[in-house]
Amino acid sequence: MTENSLRKTVFQKLEHTETADRLGKIVDYLLIALIAINVGSVILETVDSVASQYVGLFNTIEVVSVAVFTLEYLARLWSCVEDPKLADAKYPRLKYAVSPLALIDLLAILPFYLTFFFIIDLRFLRVLRLLRVLKLTRYSPALSIILEVIREERHSFYAAFFILMVLLILAASGAYLVEHRVQPEKFGSIPHAMWWAMATLTTVGYGDVTPITPMGQIFGSLVAIVGIGMAALPAGILTSGLTSQLRRNREALRNQLRRALEDGIIDETEETALEDLRKNLGLSRQIALEIRQDVHDRRLEHVGAHCVHCGKPHTVPRRKI
């Protein structure tokens, strides 16, 4: 009983389930600050002059961080069974442990423990700690919407990547054919020419390698034009996905509102549910208000603008949303 209620509290504080929870927020901010300090110290450690001077400080930060992150990882793993989303799972802890967020948490502490058992290049290992920055993903709702859209459109992104690869091979081989005699050190083989092709197709254009023959420059111009078309692909896919997501989120809110209004009144519970849905969908108050007004207007077309019993006008309940 006591264990269970403690576990529930830990879960609520860590996962921040209640919006008006002050302690949960403080836990959040402390963890965010620690991650930021961590990332900063790993970056600064690579500057030799700084590293030699503050070697002790950096070690302290590392040990404290790993301790806290290990504690956090274990606490999340222990309390995750309180998550209603995992209620149906046979092995809720295992299911949580292989979720992306849990794997990121594990990745943040694993390298430290591995050094006790294996001999690993320390410089590589230190940089690996930078992946701890991914732990921040947890704290932004807007970010998770963007990542969700990217995940939904992944097949389109793969296709765009495939088109890019095909264009890269064709651009590199074309440039190789045209330029390899004049610039054998830069376009001497297709793999060499790929560096130029990539810089041009992505419109980065470093300029360390450029075609110098007229034919090469004409071909290079074509590749550059294809490049701006290429850059349009991810923009198009992402925009189309975001627009569709926004439209569906508005529909979802509209449907729940319509259902809540079926009895003509939006009571306290329905208000809270609507407000929670609005936040989860990342819709602004302004948009929610417009949807409410619209649903109300359309409803009036059916039930009439005035109540048939008392003759008073129906008004839009505006309170929370």
Q: Find the binding residues for a copy of itself in span 167-196 (CB under 8 A).
A: 169-170, 172-174, 176-177, 188-191, 194-195
The answer to whether 46 contacts a copy of itself (rule: CB under 8 A) is yes
The rounded radius of gyration (Å) of the Cα atoms in the chain is 28
The answer to whether 232 contacts a copy of itself (rule: CB under 8 A) is yes
The answer to whether 207 contacts a copy of itself (rule: CB under 8 A) is yes
User: Residue 109 or residue 201: which is nearer to a copy of itself going by CB?
Assistant: 201
CB 307, min distance to a copy of itself, A? 18
**In the set 10, 21, 70, 234, which binds a copy of itself (CB under 8 A)?**
234
Task: Kindly state the tokens that stand for 154.
Answer: 């992944």
Among the residues of 16-54, which ranges form H helices? 22-45, 48-53
The answer to whether 280 contacts a copy of itself (rule: CB under 8 A) is no
Interacting residues of 303 by C-beta distance below 8 A, sequence separation 6+: 264, 314
By the 8 A CB rule, do 242 and 274 touch?
no
**In the set 85, 93, 248, 279, which binds a copy of itself (CB under 8 A)?**
248
Task: Kindly state the tokens that stand for 118.
Answer: 């294996």
Number of H helices, E strands in the chain: 14, 0
Q: How far from 79 is each of 70, 129, 152, CA to CA, in Å?
A: 14, 25, 29
Q: Within positions 113 to 132, which residues make up the interface with a copy of itself, using CB under 8 A?
A: 123-124, 127, 130-131
The DSSP letter of residue 314 is P
**In the set 30, 55, 114, 251, which binds a copy of itself (CB under 8 A)?**
251
The answer to whether 303 contacts a copy of itself (rule: CB under 8 A) is no
CA terminus-to-terminus distance, the chain: 38
The answer to whether 12 contacts a copy of itself (rule: CB under 8 A) is no
CB 271, min distance to a copy of itself, A? 22
Distance CA 19, CA 39 (A): 28
**In the set 182, 204, 303, 307, which binds a copy of itself (CB under 8 A)?**
204
The answer to whether 39 contacts a copy of itself (rule: CB under 8 A) is yes
Interacting residues of 220 by C-beta distance below 8 A, sequence separation 6+: 175, 200, 210, 211
Q: Please identify, among the stretches 63-71, 88-96, 203-211, 267-275, the one whose residues bind a copy of itself according to the rule CB under 8 A.
A: 203-211
The answer to whether 203 contacts a copy of itself (rule: CB under 8 A) is yes
The answer to whether 142 contacts a copy of itself (rule: CB under 8 A) is yes
CB 46, min distance to a copy of itself, A? 4
Phi and psi for 182 in degrees, rounded to 5? -85, -35
Distance CA 196, CA 257 (A): 55
Q: Within positions 52 to 111, which residues make up the interface with a copy of itself, using CB under 8 A?
A: none
